[in-house]
A and B are shown apart, each in its own frame.
Chain A
Amino acid sequence: MIIGRDLTRIYGMGAVQVRALNGVSVKIQKGEFVGIMGPSGSGKSTLLHMFGLLDRPTSGSILIDGSDVGTLDERARTQFRLRRLGYVFQDYALVPELTAKENVYLPSMTRGMTAQECTLACSDILTLVGLGDRIHHLPGQMSGGEQQRVAIARALVNRPTLLLADEPCANLDSQNSRIILDLFQRLNRDLHQTIVMVSHEEWHKRYFDRIISMKDGVIEKEERRSEGGKPAPSP
């Protein structure tokens, strides 16, 4: 379970200060697929960065599976990101000199897995994302959708507690976006992977179990979706 308590994030020094998050409290249950939505500047990416340990809140605390990640030093945060979190970026962010397999291999290798274990894990995960036949291709030889699927495989290879996706379909056409979202949904349903994804596309809503809508650094509303993407009746 991920718990964010009274999170604030203030950017800027002196007179000009921007409150990107203004006292946000949120709970994400294990196995949930949560969408964070809202207009630009609403604080959705900032919240995702907090969960991804890429940024520190100005105040408030974050607990991931009972660990107060705010107390960790930089090296421990890096280890936490490696072992417990998976991150998918908007622009794939693959290492251009590494093949699909090698990009996926990298986090496992850093964890200290043997070459055999890494290869096995890579092959499994790349097959899972539908790229079993593209493992030796460099990012430059793949389409945007394929690169994003490699990025998802890289995020998943260490079996993370939480998969974070920051507008993963922003650079993709609708067909590739659908492939990615279907993949997320499959990972969530079949593997019970907890996913938190930032998006501003209305049609993405039907993939989420729950939608957190943000505006001006606060949660404007939370909406639970039923199977099929319809708003669920209030409990």
Chain B
Amino acid sequence: MFEESKVAFFLAKRSIVRGNKGTLSLTILIIGMVFVNLIFLPSIITGVAVLFNQQSIDYSYGNLVIEPKKNQVYINSVSELQKKLERIPGITGVSTRYVTSATIVYKGNVVTPALYAIKPGDEQSVLKIGTKVSSGSYLADGDTGHIVLGYRLAGNEDEKLDVISSLGGVDVGKVVDVTFNNGVTRQYRIKGIVTSNSYSVDSNAFITKKEYEDVFGLEDRANQILVRTRETGKENEMRNTLLSYGFQEKIWTWQEKSANFLNQIIGSFNIINLIGTAVSLVIAIVVIFIVIFINTVYRRKQIGILKAIGIDRSIIIKSYLFQALFIFAIGTIMGCAFLLMILQLLAANPIVFPGGPVAPVVDPALILRSTMSLLVVSLIAGYVPAWITTREDILTAIRG
């Protein structure tokens, strides 16, 4: 067996070293490109998932979201709950808030966004919205009569540029009319515009909790408490900790809150990726198959001669398998080099998605899976044509 492999390797090596370099180089190049294709798109998808996950934590939910018990509208005595939460080890920030909807009107433009009533100081201990003010300034704890808008909601004077229904390019310092769902209408001066690249932030509006409670006559309540933990990824453990502390409210992890939206995006991307992967592998198998098949058919007579002088068929097949392995190995190495170059290029010039710049995330398991699938494809594409050609009767092959 070892002797056979030695002879097969010898024949393959000489064929590679002294054979047609042009065909070999092109084949290797194609395999390299296929490898890049197998890795690149999934790594972008993973990058998008990482981006959206981080955005969910940083701009929408923190790590955990506490909501009222079943059949209740509000969580009561939130100050006490907040203090209790802040004492639990591993929790770094707690923000109590109201989430509602309101109608905002400016110069005949009417929009109905989600309205978040927050305690700005607490909110900044959980979310990063306060760091994304693109114009004006963020809300302060004592603010009344002020509102902060997302830049999509503020919109543009030219409505063609708007992605959603907007206030037509309203700017900092302007006054808008806000009608709450209890029928009260108040005027608010725009204190700031936030541009976070998070859809849920940029399309909505923010006032202080104090203002909201004044409008609704509420005190020390909230319909949502956001919790930031020191470690991301241990949300379920922290939820169990909260339950052990006697919390009876509904507790969601950020994954559960954002699952539907993200799963839809990733699901769609994965379908595209599956098609891309299948096409890439088919290209790889066809290219290697054609190259080896043409090679073996062209050398049909030579294969017959080799068999005639006593070279076993399995040696000849193995020699083509070694050639296919060489194409795979060099193609994969070349693909890795291409991939590194592309990653460096993207690090300098990132692809900007609606959620922000996406950095491709190359998972080692993905590289391993792609390499293995390319290896299997290469072996099949090397074996089958060699098997077909060497099956031919010696005299038929020699006579051509």
The reply on A155 being an interface residue by CB < 8 A is yes
B6 cross-chain contacts in A, Cβ below 8 A = 109
Contact A82 to B311, CB < 8 A, known contacts A95-B306, A102-B14, A110-B3: yes
B305 cross-chain contacts in A, Cβ below 8 A = 89, 93
CB pair A54–B308 under 8 Å, yes or no, is: yes
A112 cross-chain contacts in B, Cβ below 8 A = 3
Contact of B7 among A80, A96, A109 (CB under 8 A): A109
The reply on A19 being an interface residue by CB < 8 A is no
> Scoring B residues 1 to 13 as 1 if CB is less than 8 Å from chain A, else 0, what string do you get?
0011011001100
Q: In whole Å, how far is B387's beta carbon from the nearest beta carbon of chain A?
A: 14
Q: In whole Å, how far is A81's beta carbon from the nearest beta carbon of chain B?
A: 4
CA distance A153 to B3 in the complex (A): 22
CA distance A98 to B305 in the complex (A): 14
Q: Looking across the interface, which residue of chain B has its beta carbon closest to that of A109?
A: B7
The size class of the interface chain B forms with chain A is 20 to 34
Contact of A138 among B11, B18, B395 (CB under 8 A): B18
The reply on A4 being an interface residue by CB < 8 A is no
The reply on B313 being an interface residue by CB < 8 A is yes
> Scoring A residues 73 to 103 as 1 if CB is less than 8 Å from chain B, else 0, what string do you get?
0010011111101110100010111100010
CA distance A82 to B312 in the complex (A): 9
Contact of A55 among B17, B18, B395 (CB under 8 A): B395
Chain A: interface residue total (CB-CB under 8 A): 30
A-B contact pairs, 26 of them (CB 8 A): A55-B394, A55-B395, A75-B312, A78-B312, A79-B310, A79-B312, A80-B310, A89-B305, A89-B308, A89-B398, A93-B305, A93-B398, A96-B18, A97-B15, A97-B17, A97-B18, A97-B19, A102-B10, A106-B10, A106-B309, A107-B310, A110-B3, A110-B311, A110-B312, A110-B315, A154-B309
Other A-B contacts than A95-B11, A97-B17, 17 sampled, CB-CB below 8 A, are A75-B312, A78-B307, A78-B310, A78-B311, A82-B311, A87-B308, A87-B309, A89-B398, A95-B302, A106-B309, A107-B311, A109-B3, A109-B6, A110-B310, A110-B315, A112-B3, A158-B310
Interface residues of B (CB under 8 A from A): 3-4, 6-7, 10-11, 14-15, 17-19, 301-302, 305-313, 315, 394-395, 398
